[in-house]
Structure 1
């Protein structure tokens, strides 16, 4: 298969001169976690100049350097990753999967010359995971078992640092052996936007340092049993709009985490074989 067979051609983009509030509104409206960044030139072409993700926004807004600045003061161009990796639609899926894994990215803009014509994301790959061997491979055989976690009372700045240092997008929130929530880069981005709207500028830096995980995390966490298949996990992630899911055994104990990246690794391995 080739990229053109599964890529999304209806691409939601943001202009480099728009602000972070605009970018987050687009992400929320379209239920996506990244936006190609364009520069609309005089020819009205959508020239690709960067890419911005929820994680980029969360990490920037949570930093002490920008602690007192509201999101409306940030242009997309100050937060985006410039000159992103791109591909053309004729490339095969194996190559695209390998590039995404090696560079730890969740999506690749597809261009024709300098103009963006599509995007391929982990979700596009995950949608292909039906039938053999995906419905014959158990989650427990592909999941991560060494999972970083935080406690409800941990400071948010500590959790944010783990996300940066470990280059991950989510953290289960554990109270002993019980899972009480999950914290994602999206949660941090959304909370920082709301926080800066209601807290006066002069108090923001100090109060951000006092935020705890429990204030931000998503409760009532959905999990998936380790005896389910990769096909089951793929369907679950797509239906629930999740990028990663805590995995439990038959006793309800957390035994790991399955993410789109884990499934992407499996896809890449299969592409090499076939």
Structure 2
């Protein structure tokens, strides 16, 4: 199977000179978390110059270096990652999955002859994570158990720092071993954006440190039992448009299963076949 067989052909992009508010609006409208960044050259062609994600925006907005600047002052070009990883549409999906894991990315532009023809994300792999052996492999055998967690009373800047240092996209929010919610890079980005709109510049640096995880986190989180199968996890992820599911046993948090865990399994299976 090749990249072209599972990629999304619709490519939503953003110009490098647009501001990050425009980028976030596009992400929300199209229910995506990353955008190729383009520059219109002299021939009016769209030249790929970078990629921007919700996480990139969250990290920049939470930086003390830019604490007093309103969101309208942030152009996409100041936040994006330059020289993005790309993949040819004719490449094998095993190579594509391995490329994502190696580069610690959740998606990449698909190209043909230097032209963007699609986007490939970890979500695109989920549709092939069905049937054997996904319907006979328990989540407990593939989930991540070395968890980084935060509490509702932790400051949002601490959660942001954890997302950066541990290179994860979400953090379970736990109080006395009980799962209270989950906070993601998207939650941080939206909270930082809203905060900057309503708080006067001279108070931003001081007040941003008073934002708590409990004020921003998603409550009533979808969970899954450790005895469920990977195929069942895939179904929950697709139906709820989420990238990770906390795993509980006997009412207590024991791990988390993510798209990355599933992609790792795909790579292993491709190497065997």
Do Structure 1 and Structure 2 share a fold, with TM-score over 0.5?
Answer: yes
Aligned to 1:273: 272
Aligned equivalents of 2:102 and 2:119: distance in 1?
Answer: 18
2:224 is equivalent to residue 259 of structure 1: no
1:223-262 aligned at under 5 Å gives the runs 223-249=223-249, 251-262=250-261
Conserved 8 A contact 1:7-1:119: yes
- CA offsets 1:5-36 (integer angstroms, 9 cap, x no match): 10111011111111000000011111111001
2:157 is equivalent to residue 157 of structure 1: yes
User: Cα distance, 1:112 vs. partner?
Assistant: 2.3
1:97-108 aligned at under 5 Å gives the runs 97-108=97-108
2:53 is equivalent to residue 53 of structure 1: yes
In the superposition, the TM-score normalised over structure 1's length comes to 0.98
Aligned equivalents of 2:263 and 2:34: distance in 1?
Answer: 18
Equivalent position SS for 2:108: strand
Query: After TM superposition, where is structure 1 displaced by more than 6 Å over at least 4 residues in a row?
Result: none
CA RMSD in angstroms comes to: 0.9
Conserved 8 A contact 1:47-1:116: no
Aligned to 2:188: 188
Equivalent position SS for 1:256: strand
Equivalent position SS for 1:152: coil
Equivalent position SS for 1:205: helix
Aligned equivalents of 1:179 and 1:119: distance in 2?
Answer: 34
Aligned equivalents of 2:187 and 2:50: distance in 1?
Answer: 23
Equivalent position SS for 1:135: coil
Aligned to 1:29: 29
Q: How many residues align?
A: 273
Aligned equivalents of 1:71 and 1:258: distance in 2?
Answer: 33
1:53-92 aligned at under 5 Å gives the runs 53-92=53-92
Aligned equivalents of 1:265 and 1:29: distance in 2?
Answer: 30
Gaps of 5+ in 1: none
In the superposition, the TM-score normalised over structure 2's length comes to 0.98
Aligned equivalents of 1:4 and 1:46: distance in 2?
Answer: 21
Equivalent position SS for 1:179: strand
1:130-209 aligned at under 5 Å gives the runs 130-209=130-209
With 207-216 and 38-47 compared, the bigger mean Cα shift is at: 38-47
Aligned equivalents of 2:271 and 2:61: distance in 1?
Answer: 40
1:109-124 aligned at under 5 Å gives the runs 109-124=109-124
1:210-221 aligned at under 5 Å gives the runs 210-221=210-221
User: Cα distance, 1:157 vs. partner?
Assistant: 1.0
- CA offsets 1:88-108 (integer angstroms, 9 cap, x no match): 111100110011001100011
User: Cα distance, 1:72 vs. partner?
Assistant: 1.1
User: Cα distance, 1:71 vs. partner?
Assistant: 1.2
- CA offsets 1:16-70 (integer angstroms, 9 cap, x no match): 1110000000111111110011112243322211000000000000110011111
